[in-house]
Structure formats: structure tokens, C-alpha cells
Structure 1
Amino acid sequence: MNFTHEKLNEVIRNGYTLEFSPVFEKAFENYKKIALPAGAAFLIVSIVIAVFGMTIGSVFYGMNNFSESLLQVNVASSFISILIQVVSVVVIGVIFAPVTAGIIKMAHLADNGKDFSMATAFDYYKSPYLKELLIAAFLLGLAGAILSLLPIIGTIATYVISFFTFLTIPLIIFADLKAADAIRASVQLVAKQPLVLLGLLIVSVLAVCIGLIAFCIGILFTIPFIYSMYYVIYNTILPTKEEHEIEQIGTPVDF
């Protein structure tokens, strides 16, 4: 068991201290360093997903009535429409997972004064961690998509799952955990300080919305603030060591 795993076990057993203001301020400073390259990466991925979606849509519905069909889809109307919705959510989650990991890596490099670029956001498409990232995204995406089909309760359950598992990706790429272990560890860590963490994430979302309205720079360039927050929260709970640089991509180990 390496240092990170020992520290993780200790934190899960004994808990940790998290102060709202220092974490928020550090996340904002980190965000200012990665906003443009991270936003550009999100823009590229969004375009790819839009093109992919239109292509798949044309196959299922035909280009002439694609838009009309989208407006008329009723989730409860047929098994096919439910299946399409679930698959779409899962696929988008799987596509975005490596990018999210790349943005968090970008935040780590910025925090340590190291060089990075927009291309950093796509590093995990070619790393040994890709499999675990995709498995985690598939499991969480599938659970969320299925639960979201339930009225009201399902939506609330989806948000709860997202909240308790938001440290999954940092735990995979920093702590070398398998997907299932990272999900479980995320739930255990968040459960130690749920109110403070919930407050930080809510304020982060509000900051993204305020930034969109006030500065008109587009939501794709304000969303990276949330991932800066993810990184700073993780790094506050489990400080990364220099000898465990995120760019030194190794083979994930069992936890």
C-alpha cells in the first residue's frame, strides 16, 4: 500500500478539516489560470458531441423531421424513447469523463506552476487510466439516467449520487484507484463533511451562473471553475506529493 492509499485510509477513518473560505479562494485563483484553455477544450468536445448527436439523430429520425421528433419525444411513451435517453446520457458521460480528468490535471499543473495547454484536457484519452474513467462514467451515468426517469424522487436521487461521487475522477487519476473503489471512497470522503462540501459546490454553481450573466463569456468558459473546485477540495483532503505527479501516468492498482 503506497503513501496515498495509507493517507486515504487514515482520512476515511479519522475525517478531515475543510474551511470554506480558503478552499473557495484557492479554487478561484486556480480557475483564473485554466479558464481559457479549459473552456476551449469544452467548446471542442461540445461541437463533437453536437455533430455526433445530429448524425445519430438523422439515422433514427431522418433530417427532415429530426427537430420535430425531439420536441415530441415523451420519455414514458415507449421503451425506445427511454432507451435512447438512457444511452444518450451514458454516452455523453463517457465522452466527457476523460476531458474532466484532463481539466483536473490542468488544475493540478497550474497549482504547481507547471506548463499546460488546451491539449492537456485530452491526455487521458491515451492513458492507462482511460479504462477506469470510462467504467466509472458508465456506472454513474447509467445509474443517473435510470433514476432520472422517475418523477421528482429520481431527479433528487440523481443529484445526491452526483454529489457523493464528485471525487471519483480525482481518486482514479491521483490515488490510482479502480473505478468501483474510487466511487466507494468518494462516498466515504464526502460523507465526512457533507454540509461544507455541499456549500462549496452550490456556491461554485452559482458563481458559474453569475459569471455567465455578468461577463458574457459563455458557460463553457465558466464551467472550469467547478473542476478547479473539485481539484482544490481533493488536494485539501489528500495533498498530492511531487513524486506522485499526475502526469507520471502509471498502471492503476487495486485498493
Structure 2
Amino acid sequence: MNNKIDSKIQNGYSLETGSLIDQSIATFKKTFLISGVAMVLLIILFVIIYGTLFAVFYGFTDVMGSMTELQTRQSSVFGILITVLVTTISTGFFAPITAGFIHANHLAKNNQEIGINVFFEFYKSKFFKDIIISYLLIGLTTGILNAGLVLLKLEILSYIVQAAVGLLTVFTLPLIIYGNQNFENALTKSMQLFLKQPVIIFVALLLAVIGMFLGIFALCIGLIFTIPYYYSMIYAIYNQAIGFEEKSVIDEIGQEEI
């Protein structure tokens, strides 16, 4: 598999937007319900964790006052450092769940059973270390770049930075869990692979974001079920760009501990 990935980096690969849309929708239709349930659980977990942290540091006696104080601190050097730290830790902590959302599409494509446990499976997998380290580095990079923009009073550019980092690292998780790459190779090769087809990947992910936000029209509740479409597109991009061996190690999930 490593030789196949290196060959794609050296010789390039082809992507077709229409085919990516068809493939992503095909797997999304099979996963949107279970992915939506997982997203609800994730939101609840997110609220509990950040609600607890907010209560510890600020208390709930004066919520509005605490929010104002928090906004003020965010523009200070100390506040910026805390933001970088929180961004880094959060990105790393939730990375295995992101891998789970991507992998749900692989199971759907191969007509395998998908349970809630799939979204949390990578916390106990052999890929855990590389997943965590890669996304800690991604979160740290994003946090530092955004902190620099805040200090320069260019906060509006933070969205561009986040998008750029997201595009350059789009292959990272698939390369780890399907390509058996360590975190260093996954990050490096992800950037190299993206630069082979930057326009088509950008357009495909932009369409995925647009499709994702269509859930707003369902009283916003539908957004919970359409957010996972973004991961369906990431899977489709990897599938079309790199593909899989006839029998990948990841296909053993559920049969033996990954």
C-alpha cells in the first residue's frame, strides 16, 4: 500500500467531481441516520465537557458577565494562549471520532453493519497514537496561526487559515487508518497528495459544506444529520484518489481489535 501511495504522489491521480458527488451521496444515504445519532451524542458530550470547564473557571451565577469577561480575555495574550491550548487539545481529543465518521462510509460501501461503537472504535485501535498526534499538531498549527492573526488584528483571515489547513490535511486520517501511515508520513503525504489536485478537492469539499448546511432548512435540527456528509466526501476523495487493497487491515474491524 505504501508503494501505491508513493506512486500517486509521484505520478498524480485523477478525480472527477460528478463521480465524487455520486459516491459520497451513495455512502451518506446509508450512514446519515446512525451518523446523526452519533452527532447528537457528540454534541451532548461537547456541552457537558465545555459546560463543566466553564462552570469551573467562571461559574454560572452571572452567565452574561462571564461571557463578556471571556470575550475580553480572548484578546489578551493570556487569553490567546489559552485559546491555542484549548484548540489543540480539543482537536486531538475528538480526532478518533472524526476517523469513526470517515470509517462509517467504508463500512457502508462494503455493506457491513454500522453501530454507534464504530464512531468511538479508534480510541482503542492501534492507530490511536498516530491519530491523536497528527491532530494535536494540526490543532496546534491552526491555533498558533490564528493567534498571530489576532495579534495583527486580522481575525477575519482565520477562516482562510482554517480552510487552508483543512485542505492540506484532508488525506491525513484516511492515510493513517487505511494506508497504515504514521502521523509524520500521513501529514507530509496528505499535503503532497492535495497539491496534485487542489482545485477539484477544494470544489468537492466546498460542495460538501454547502450540502452540509442544507440541513438548516429543516428547522436547523437537520444540520445534525447533514454534517456527516462532509466526511462522506472525504472518504470519496480518498477512495477515488488512492483506493484500497483487496483486503485492507481496516476491514478486519469488528473481527479483531484494530
**Common topology (TM > 0.5):** yes
The residue type equivalent to 1:184 in the other structure is: T
Q: Distance in 2 between matches of 1:67 and 1:117?
A: 40
CA-to-aligned-CA distance 1:43-82 (integer Å, 9 cap, x gap): 1122112111111111111221344322342356423321
- Report % sequence identity: 34
Over the aligned positions, Cα root-mean-square deviation in angstroms equals 2.0
Q: Distance in 2 between matches of 1:227 and 1:77?
A: 33
Aligned residues: 249
Q: Distance in 2 between matches of 1:64 and 1:146?
A: 32
Report the 3-state secondary structure (helix = DSSP H, G, I; strand = E; otherwise coil) of the residue aligned with 2:84: helix
The corresponding residue for 1:202 is 206
Give the counterpart of 2:246 among 242, 246, 249.
242
CA-to-aligned-CA distance 1:183-226 (integer Å, 9 cap, x gap): 11110001000001100000110111123315754322111101
Contact kept? 1:57, 1:66, Cα under 8 Å? no
If the length of structure 2 is used for normalisation, what is the TM-score?
Answer: 0.90
Q: Distance in 1 between matches of 2:54 and 2:78?
A: 13
Unaligned runs of 5+ in 2: none
The residue type equivalent to 1:208 in the other structure is: M
The corresponding residue for 2:32 is 35
- 5 Å-filtered alignment, 1:85-104, equals 85-104=83-102
Q: Distance in 2 between matches of 1:101 and 1:83?
A: 27
Q: Distance in 1 between matches of 2:164 and 2:206?
A: 13
**CA pair 61-216 structure 1, distance change in 2 beyond 3 A:** closer
**CA pair 120-201 structure 1, distance change in 2 beyond 3 A:** same
The residue type equivalent to 1:9 in the other structure is: D
- 5 Å-filtered alignment, 1:1-255, equals 4-72=1-69, 73-74=71-72, 77-149=75-147, 150=149, 151=154, 152-214=156-218, 216-248=220-252
Q: Distance in 1 between matches of 2:221 and 2:56?
A: 34
Q: Distance in 2 between matches of 1:42 and 1:93?
A: 16
CA-to-aligned-CA distance 1:61-104 (integer Å, 9 cap, x gap): 12213443223423564233212222222222122211111111
CA-to-aligned-CA distance 1:200-254 (integer Å, 9 cap, x gap): 00011011112331575432211110101111110111111231142436999xx
The residue type equivalent to 1:173 in the other structure is: I
CA-to-aligned-CA distance 1:127-163 (integer Å, 9 cap, x gap): 1111111101110011111212212444422321111
If the length of structure 1 is used for normalisation, what is the TM-score?
Answer: 0.91
Q: Distance in 1 between matches of 2:48 and 2:257?
A: 33
Q: Distance in 1 between matches of 2:113 and 2:186?
A: 27
The residue type equivalent to 2:2 in the other structure is: H
Report the 3-state secondary structure (helix = DSSP H, G, I; strand = E; otherwise coil) of the residue aligned with 2:208: helix
**CA pair 95-31 structure 1, distance change in 2 beyond 3 A:** same
